[in-house]
Structure 1
């Protein structure tokens, strides 16, 4: 067969970086604030899964931070849509916001979302336009690692439907720091990738169908707040 004369160059694939490129793993023996926080990660199928969970939550909830894999031109309108469907106040996160009960912070599509302590006010948001982690920015692993580092046993982690493994290692780090974690079950996932990887690592305390997650979060938040 005659040669086409074309030279096929190898396709370069960017390396998949870990959360180490954004922040080191330094879990605190004691939470750096008494505040309870909920962190949620999702990807493929996550927009509808988040709508289902958030619309079922009451107003009186701890602050909720979300890393959903989504291009930056859509995250603000996504937050606005969720805000219209939820009793909670939902908005695209900005840098340095004090975490407030009854409020949901959506990671903007251009930045990693993290939690950091601030003297006298508890926890605040932190954004980073650093390298993509697991080829994603925002990355669930980055959000979860920050929760492990500063919130420890005062954090609740949730990993919803999504392709790949982003969030699996971070959920394990949270568990090792004392947090309580939920993974969505296979039957209710659009793609059982991220939760499956986390479950395989032993990162989840519970594996729940989507329709049960909101009620469980209410119960867990109530337990956490009562013990503070």
Structure 2
């Protein structure tokens, strides 16, 4: 039996965005457009009559900007918000401020070719709305997860390597909806003397560099967007660029990363599954895999491959996940040794890095 549709409000000063986004939402069988508004003040008037389940919100608007509206909303009546923003530097910074203020996820829009872009990316917008509707800000509202077009099982399996060249440890983290805040919580709690960390955070192209720069300013670790051939070193966090896959590789000098093109896996590029599979083969039992908040099942199969290769694995618990989708799928596949709340993950990472051999006492 189909539940009630997700009621969506679109707040954007662009008439084209309101039109095309409305068409994209209306085409989804599990959604309906409750209302549109050219700015937050118009939105507030309409919300007094009927409250939406999800708001798609622009940042730069007249009379009241989106960030001010978001902070007011989260203080008075928390509601899932999807930020729809330009990826130019000014818009990117404001978008991360919005994520820090409580927005659930982020979709990007270009400055030119807007109508065609939104039409082409209508499924991405719909997926972001579903993820927001399933977020813990509105417990009990569950939205269907779209079936992935292509999964890890559809890709050829690279040969497994025997141990790492020098026994060096490496940490791989995968996350999606709510992950920007989760990653900040984990990484800011770590000292500079931790094994190299590779990260996939589902995020549009053009935003990952700004995200890495923001984290770099908050952490004792060095954080940057990954570049093809970067070495994986102690105290360094490499974040997958939006729109490209990240893989761990190994040579005589140790670990390095490959930034590669390729198809969408589980509807994502970068894909957590792609990263985790490469870590399983390059690092085996010298790796720790961590899967955190996110909708869908990206990362579950790859984490199982890491587990089977002898890696330590852990998942964020339901109590702290914004969306308990990716961790739940990994747990159900038998890929997870430990399930921990967000505030315990950094400590578990440190304990693993200091424990001798194998799975680092994570059993």
Structure-1-length-normalised TM-score: 0.89
Q: Is residue 135 from structure 1 mapped to residue 267 from structure 2 by the alignment?
A: yes
CA 1:164–1:15 in 2, change beyond 3 Å: closer, same or farther?
closer
Gaps of 5+ in 1: 1-7
Task: After TM superposition, list the pairs within 5 Å mapping 1:92-111 onto structure 2.
Answer: 92-111=225-244
Q: Which has the larger radius of gyration?
A: 2
For 1:38 and 1:146, the matched residues in 2 are separated by 12
Counterpart residue number, 2:330:
198
Task: After TM superposition, list the pairs within 5 Å mapping 1:163-178 onto structure 2.
Answer: 163-178=295-310
Counterpart residue number, 2:319:
187
Superposition CA RMSD, Å: 2.4
- Count of residue pairs the alignment pairs up: 218
Specify the SS of the correspondent of 2:190: coil
Q: Is residue 210 from structure 1 mapped to residue 322 from structure 2 by the alignment?
A: no
Q: Is residue 40 from structure 1 mapped to residue 173 from structure 2 by the alignment?
A: yes
Specify the SS of the correspondent of 1:73: coil
Cα distance per residue 1:121-149 (max 9 Å; x no partner): 10111011111111100000000000001
Specify the SS of the correspondent of 1:216: helix
Cα distance per residue 1:30-76 (max 9 Å; x no partner): 33442100000000000000000000001100000000000011100
Counterpart residue number, 2:212:
79
Cα distance per residue 1:66-105 (max 9 Å; x no partner): 0000001110000001101100000000000111110000
Q: Which runs of 4+ in 1 moved over 6 A?
A: none
1:17 is displaced (CA, Å) by 1.4
Counterpart residue number, 1:5:
none
For 1:75 and 1:93, the matched residues in 2 are separated by 9
Q: Is residue 24 from structure 1 mapped to residue 153 from structure 2 by the alignment?
A: no
